[in-house]
Amino acid sequence: MKEIVFATNNENKRLEVAQMLGDAYHIRTLKDFGITEDIPEDAPTLEGNAKIKARFIAEKYDVNVFADDTGLEVDALDGAPGVITARYAGPAKRAEDNMAKLLTELQGKEDRSAQFRTAICLIIDGEEYLFEGICRGAIAEAKSGSEGFGYDPVFTPEGETRTFAEMEQAEKNLISHRGLAVQKLITFLRERGQ
């Protein structure tokens, strides 16, 4: 089994990606390196933040690594929360607070269209690659479902009547922003024989 580092401390993300990678890879995370604090994400773009995290680990530990950053981009809010999606309601990064703020800001707005976008930076053998996944959809009027994490209870992907939080993990992985980006990453690794 091959080993790859996912520069995250988010256990939900690790589980999601591990399910997609299957038995081909053993994923190590920041905790395996004794890093319990999040690596600062101060770039103005998702791609920039993914690069910061991947480069930090690659340079410090000389390993093959990938990192992601995800943003929820709401049309009626000019793309907000975007790069500050995780800390939209404050530095505590509480999903409940973030969703409450989002639903409040969309009250009375007819256009609830939005997209989730994930950028992944892979550094392998010293070379850097970027992958992107986008899932279009809309923000629900209220929370629904108990699966997933983050904004999943309020995001309904295009072509669906259910939120991400109402779907099984494997079902969500087929259409989600992170799922699509990780599929591109997996295809790339397989083509390289990694």
Token digits of residue 65: 């690594």
CA distances from 30 to 65, 66, 151, 184, 193 (A): 10, 11, 23, 23, 25
Residue 26: how many other CB atoms lie within 10 Å: 11
**Which residue in 84, 70, 135, 80 sits closest to 106, CA to CA?**
80
Which of 69, 78, 111, 125 is flagged as catalytic?
69
Q: Pairing state of beta strands 127-139 and 81-82? A: unpaired
Rounded distance between C-alpha atoms, residue 57 and residue 69, angstroms: 15
Peptide bond before residue 44 is cis, with ω within 30 degrees of 0: no
Q: Is 68 a catalytic residue?
A: no
Active site residues: 69
